[in-house]
Structure 1
Amino acid sequence: MRALVLRHDHASQPGLVGDRLIERGYDLTTLTVVPEERFHSPDVTFAFPSAAEWDLVVSLGAPWSVYDEETIGTWIAGELALLREARDLGVPVLGICFGAQALATAFGGSVEPAPFPELGWTDVQSDIPDLVSSGPWFQWHYDRCVLPPGAVEIARNVAGLQAFVAGRSLGVQFHPEITAPVLRAWLDLDGGTLCARLGIDPDELVSRTLAERPQALARTAELVDAFLDRIALPVG
């Protein structure tokens, strides 16, 4: 089975989600949209493949906003087209943070600024705890999804929508894939400045992420398994 992983920036990785997909028999192909040398000028040209080439699409997070075309340029239109093609072909999508926001937008919803940034480990309120547990889950975002028509909200917190199901696809606002090395990479980029602005100790974030790893492995495995076994199954 073939899974396409859309990595929008060089510092992000499929992490724990990718590990579980491999354990479930998926062969991962990771494509990087914005290379390292263009991180601060991400308006690159990128040719997305056809969704027909894959059995699963995973869209990861990004430090930018889906709606900020002035910054990211026109490549977001190509990703939205890929996600819509995946829906039309019955290819399931797992959207994570920016990926969930792209999924919501592609399916007819939208993205808006959240009432406040979320950065760190937080709990969520879940309607389907054996799919999305209450957490804690790692958050790193300042936007939120507006639910697409026909989609079902399945988790939330005070900041807004945290998970939704749309057909065979699942969007989650949090980061089930997070690992300490990825977090350190984010902090080495613009994340350290963001932490300072919000009064967050980056060393404590890393320490908590290391401490959470055993439980995070179990939560993420449960989420990926439930997604594959219950959401991504063919209809009929």
Structure 2
Amino acid sequence: MTTDLMRTETKRLLLLGHDYLGAGGIEARFAERGYQVERVQVIPPDRFEDPGVDVDFPDPRDYDAVLVLGARWSVYSDQVASWVKPELELLGTADEAGVPVFGICFGGQMLAQAHGGEVVASPAPEIGPQVVAGIPAVAGIWTQWHHDRFVPPPDATVVGANAAAPQAFVLRRNLAVQFHPEVDADSVRGWVEDGGAEDARGRGLDPEVLLEHVASLDADVRVRAAALVDYFLDQVATGR
């Protein structure tokens, strides 16, 4: 299918970002598939140190799909309770209405929390490229940066995992992934410069070596990110 044909029908994608809005190859593929992206940043940059904001979320039923990105906070932190609860309600409304949701890292954890799973501190935090086993759209090396992990809902189907954590699950029209298919070396460098260097060093990692590793994967990951969106739209979102 050509790009021109992909753009013949415009649909609306609600992109929920918490502390960042960039979704790289994931967002690009949605656009190629005919989606108009509408972004909502939950936490303004001047509130990152005090993230307990009140948020008036849009109605997910006004959209054809929802993409929920990562965050530097924990789902269970009291700091973010003011907006986590209404965002969980948004995810519940989307599920009831059959609106497909794709959750990445924190977004995947929110899907678990919303639908009967839970989010817990990980005994094996993952930073940098890690191997994931699973279905073809999920299997491979993906960049990670998380200290929590999700416990999938009891009725979910796990489609990706590694020794550290469940890495992907499907539940009705919801896809949750623990890894970051949307990031490249430039975006990870932003994380490193925003406090991530200290975090990496605390895990025994050299930030520059980590960035070189991420950069070596950029071209391949962009192709695989597109395939992951195709899997979401063609199989998960259609309920196949």
Answer whether TM exceeds 0.5 for this pair: yes
Q: Contact conserved, 1:5 with 1:57, CA < 8 A, in 2? A: yes
Cα distance in structure 2, aligned partners of 1:110 and 1:171 = 13
Gaps of 5+ in 1: none
1:33 to 42, 62, 70: 42
Gaps of 5+ in 2: 1-10
Q: CA deviation at 1:122?
A: 0.8
1:167 to 164, 169, 172: 172
Q: CA deviation at 1:73?
A: 3.1
2:229 to 221, 224, 228: 224
TM-score w.r.t. length of structure 2: 0.93
1:205 to 204, 210, 213: 210
1:132 to 121, 128, 138: 138
Q: Contact conserved, 1:90 with 1:234, CA < 8 A, in 2? A: no
Per the alignment, residue 116 of structure 1 pairs with 124
3-state secondary structure, aligned to 1:124: strand
2:184 matches 1:179: yes
Cα distance in structure 2, aligned partners of 1:163 and 1:234 = 16
Q: CA deviation at 1:181?
A: 2.0
Q: Which runs of 4+ in 1 moved over 4 A?
A: none
2:16 to 6, 13, 16: 6
1:24 to 6, 30, 33: 33
Q: How do 1:78-89 and structure 2 match up within 5 A?
A: 78-89=86-97
1:153-172 deviation digits (Å, cap 9, x = unpaired): 11111111100000011000
Q: Percent of pairs identical after alignment?
A: 43
Q: How do 1:95-106 and structure 2 match up within 5 A?
A: 95-106=103-114
Per the alignment, residue 45 of structure 1 pairs with 54
Give the superposed CA RMSD: 1.2
TM-score w.r.t. length of structure 1: 0.94
Cα distance in structure 2, aligned partners of 1:78 and 1:124 = 31
2:115 to 107, 119, 124: 107
2:160 to 133, 136, 155: 155
Cα distance in structure 1, aligned partners of 2:205 and 2:35 = 37
- Letter of the 1:165 counterpart: V
Question: Number of residues paired by the alignment?
Answer: 230
Cα distance in structure 2, aligned partners of 1:71 and 1:165 = 29
